[in-house]
Amino acid sequence: GQQVMQIPQYQHVQEGEDFTTYCNSSTTLSNIQWYKQRPGGHPVFLIQLVKSGEVKKQKRLTFQFGEAKKNSSLHITATQTTDVGTYFCAGKDGNKLVFGAGTILRVKS
């Protein structure tokens, strides 16, 4: 079945530094979704990318879908303490989503 790998597993940054998490799939994805889970909370949908090479921005967050539709990235510019949490990517596999293991982001103020 489809596998979605996500790196890094963990990142600790100084407030104001940038952060990037990468997602790679073993197969071509029809779309990819990103979720954020705050500590002690539940995952919340951030965005969905569908088109090859697509780039979408949400304030300081930039999401990118690779040309081959097998990889994706989430970049946060100038991190803030409110960005802490775990970021998951998820690829569509038939009627379900396959989630990556997530990247835990910690921000030092």
Partner 1 sequence: DGGITQSPKYLFRKEGQNVTLSCEQNLNHDAMYWYRQDPGQGLRLIYYSQIVNDFQKGDIAEGYSVSREKKESFPLTVTSAQKNPTAFYLCASSIGTGGEQFFGPGTRLTVL
Closest CB 104 distance from partner 1, rounded Å: 7
Q: How far apart (Å, rounded) are the C-alpha atoms in residues 95 and 85? A: 27
50 forms part of the interface with partner 1 (CB under 8 A): no
Q: How far apart (Å, rounded) are the C-alpha atoms in residues 26 and 97? A: 14
Please tell me whether residue 92 adopts helix, strand or coil conformation.
strand
92 forms part of the interface with partner 1 (CB under 8 A): yes
Please report, for residues 29, 31, 98, the alpha-carbon distance to residue 94 in angstroms, rounded to integers and kept in the order given: 10, 11, 10
85 forms part of the interface with partner 1 (CB under 8 A): no
55 forms part of the interface with partner 1 (CB under 8 A): no
Closest CB 91 distance from partner 1, rounded Å: 10
101 forms part of the interface with partner 1 (CB under 8 A): yes
